Structure 1
């Protein structure tokens, strides 16, 4: 049987094992599996407004704080409730303002590009008096770095060494600032990479290295063509390597040269399907447990993230699981005890549709979570309910073949499945609807004669499919 090689709409459609399309089907270590459904944790209410940034941060004693921010306020999840931790007077960012987070020792810092950088070690946030208005912040070594500041969109600032409350430039404290003007455009994203600071523009990137006084930080433009990042959340660290989304490709950067990921698989498809106007809202999250990067992006014609691509770091395969989300994070689950069990359901039958081996039930488990369009936090821990795959094309320009059977090999068989065959007499032509069928004994018995064939398989319930095989019989030549 032929192993599945993932979603690859840009590749030669006759490549064995290729999926020309899929829905709610994501890459696994072996094969493809149904995407988990989002489940709302019991007892956590919705935010009062749309989520514009969220993070789980850890203090030096390893205690954690969980934040979600709206345009007007910052909220902390405390004992199952969203507690308003905004500064006095709240915030007045634009309707499109998005928050950037950084943890520096015990201090949590936040920036929205409209007010000075915010700081809290416990309780409510407050302005840092000497800090700039910044769009992007992150910690690196003994500093906090701020990018795209109110002074200039190509400017960087760093706080004083080991002091995130002091941003007044000084050779003595090593607080400093400068501009990155070797490439056009404003700074769009930034993140730590080991001991280095990486600053991104839309089609360029810079590597910053601490060198001490008088320069403090030395910046070098990274060679690599037009690699850049579209937005402050369109980047994640996958273990000492940056995964980031550019205007027309996906990239990996390990500190040397950026490496394109989408060529020959999803790059062209993504350019056609994504909204170029709102691509800056793209959000990337690394699910370390499952070795997958989730890319939430706005589809063409949409202003919010409603498309999802999923990349498996080890297999280098892609899948799709479209959802409408406002923000995403790796949430830490509160878990379930006998005392809290009844909050999830009055009976066994009333419990969420979540497998008992799911991290949903375990306290402290890190699980992919999102805020959906109703401002509600939900974790991707529910059982898959439905998914589908569309095969590539099989056939011959000169020979007519009769498709007799399609068989899939499962790592986990679905509760049921159906198939719809498609056929065409000419390569590159329009495919017409052909025979359909229901899975019986792990296979689909169908009959259709044509030069070119492909099929859509719809699954119900959790599934993991690893291989595919089709049986053909010669039916004539022209």
Structure 2
């Protein structure tokens, strides 16, 4: 897990949403929003330009939604009029025409913009007129509404090739194009009982594949394929502050094929847990962030380095970093200082724990050494031992890797767990297993 590398000035307040868009000339614009204002990142000096419209200051109490429709970016929350931003021309945003309803969520489906969870109608979706995101008159140009009678509050909507999904608190729906009927969309219940526990925990990676946190853990798809059962579900639900359970938010890292969720612990920390959908494995990070977003790297010139570093010797990133390339899809975050940052820094310290194992059923055993299968040049190992299940953990002295690769250790007990640590800023790619040498200690 690379460290965060901050590149921008502070937004001045917590970021409640961010997105990137590509203009017709191939350049990228990064837009972010706080509770009261909307900003665009200056790609030269990495300052933020306030592009708020006449409806500002805004009063967003939840995260903003961003949906691109042609050359227009729709930016909205349920408390304020929907804002539109001209992607090619730039400048300030303005109110979307056509008197659309205020809504929490939106997506594009074919030639329609769909809004979900409307102001005063949390179980209703409303789609625009055909190929016109500023036409919202029901019954005209195909625009219409649909109240969903079961499943409760709408938590997320996203488009698919043949329609769009609606994820609710206690149900899931699929609206498909109905080209052979007088209706634009027809509704199918795809899960009548279960939904998501947190609106922003729903992460869509395309082609009907999405992941989310439910009341009983992490799942994939409408059929609720468990991805966290007997691995992380009980643990994550025990460490999340229950008061912030509905604040869990997720984003897909477009480069590493990992879905990351940010959650708040009972101690007030905002940590991350990640699911690699290609490897079907979990990871975690205690790096403090306010939220994460899929963005693109901004790219830097040599002259622009002066805005971030006092001297060339102060550059703490490799010059082939994705941060310097520009336009590369990657995971971004806003740090605790409300600065835009990318996970392109030096590697953070990595910690690996095995489960507890019992070398000998009859007698106690002493761990004498370990050998790690890793390409890290430096690593340490600590043995955590117990005399019985429920006993307090006892930690051995930390052992360092020798020139032979063997790490000398001394730990006695019936149950042992190996903890391997790779120091921060180490260059490495693999840690696959540990071979442990044990001898019978003779004690019972």
TM-score, normalization by structure 1 = 0.84
CA separation of 1:297 and 1:344: change in aligned 2, threshold 3 A: same
Equivalence for 1:28? none
Contact 2:161–2:207 (CA under 8 A) maintained in structure 1? no
Secondary structure, in 3 states, of the residue corresponding to 1:277? helix
Q: Report the alpha carbon displacement of residue 289 of structure 1 after superposing the two structures with TM.
A: 1.8
Where does 1:96-245 land on structure 2 (aligned, <5 Å)? 96-121=61-86, 122-129=90-97, 130-170=99-139, 172-183=140-151, 185-211=152-178, 214-223=182-191, 225-228=193-196, 230-232=198-200, 234-237=202-205, 240-245=208-213
Unaligned runs of 5+ in 2: none
Where does 1:42-441 land on structure 2 (aligned, <5 Å)? 44-59=8-23, 62-79=26-43, 80-94=46-60, 96-121=61-86, 122-129=90-97, 130-170=99-139, 172-183=140-151, 185-211=152-178, 214-223=182-191, 225-228=193-196, 230-232=198-200, 234-237=202-205, 240-253=208-221, 257-302=223-268, 306-352=270-316, 354-395=317-358, 396-411=360-375, 413-414=376-377, 416-441=378-403
Q: Report the alpha carbon displacement of residue 344 of structure 1 after superposing the two structures with TM.
A: 4.2
CA separation of 1:346 and 1:151: change in aligned 2, threshold 3 A: closer
TM-score, normalization by structure 2 = 0.90
Q: Report the alpha carbon displacement of residue 378 of structure 1 after superposing the two structures with TM.
A: 0.7
Q: Report the alpha carbon displacement of residue 286 of structure 1 after superposing the two structures with TM.
A: 1.4
- Taking only aligned residues, the RMSD between alpha carbons, in angstroms, comes to 2.2
CA separation of 1:335 and 1:239: change in aligned 2, threshold 3 A: farther
Q: Report the alpha carbon displacement of residue 85 of structure 1 after superposing the two structures with TM.
A: 1.5
CA deviation vs aligned residue, 1:429-456 (integer Å, no higher than 9, x gap)? 3322234322223332112222111132
Contact 1:248–1:270 (CA under 8 A) maintained in structure 2? no
Secondary structure, in 3 states, of the residue corresponding to 2:320? coil
CA deviation vs aligned residue, 1:221-250 (integer Å, no higher than 9, x gap)? 213752425113542325651122223322
Q: Report the alpha carbon displacement of residue 318 of structure 1 after superposing the two structures with TM.
A: 0.7
Bigger relative contact order, structure 1 or 2 (CA pairs below 8 A, ≥6 apart): 1
CA separation of 1:59 and 1:214: change in aligned 2, threshold 3 A: farther
Secondary structure, in 3 states, of the residue corresponding to 2:303? coil
CA separation of 1:215 and 1:301: change in aligned 2, threshold 3 A: farther
Q: For structure 1, which segment, 109-118 or 434-443, has the greater mean C-alpha deviation from structure 2 after superposition? A: 434-443
Contact 2:366–2:411 (CA under 8 A) maintained in structure 1? yes
Q: Report the alpha carbon displacement of residue 398 of structure 1 after superposing the two structures with TM.
A: 2.6
Contact 1:235–1:245 (CA under 8 A) maintained in structure 2? no
CA separation of 1:55 and 1:445: change in aligned 2, threshold 3 A: same
| 1:452 and 2:415 aligned | yes
Contact 2:254–2:331 (CA under 8 A) maintained in structure 1? no
Q: Report the alpha carbon displacement of residue 120 of structure 1 after superposing the two structures with TM.
A: 1.8
Q: Report the alpha carbon displacement of residue 119 of structure 1 after superposing the two structures with TM.
A: 1.3
Contact 2:160–2:206 (CA under 8 A) maintained in structure 1? no
Unaligned runs of 5+ in 1: 1-34
Secondary structure, in 3 states, of the residue corresponding to 1:360? helix
Q: Distance in 1 between matches of 2:327 and 2:367?
A: 50
Equivalence for 1:3? none
Q: Report the alpha carbon displacement of residue 114 of structure 1 after superposing the two structures with TM.
A: 0.5
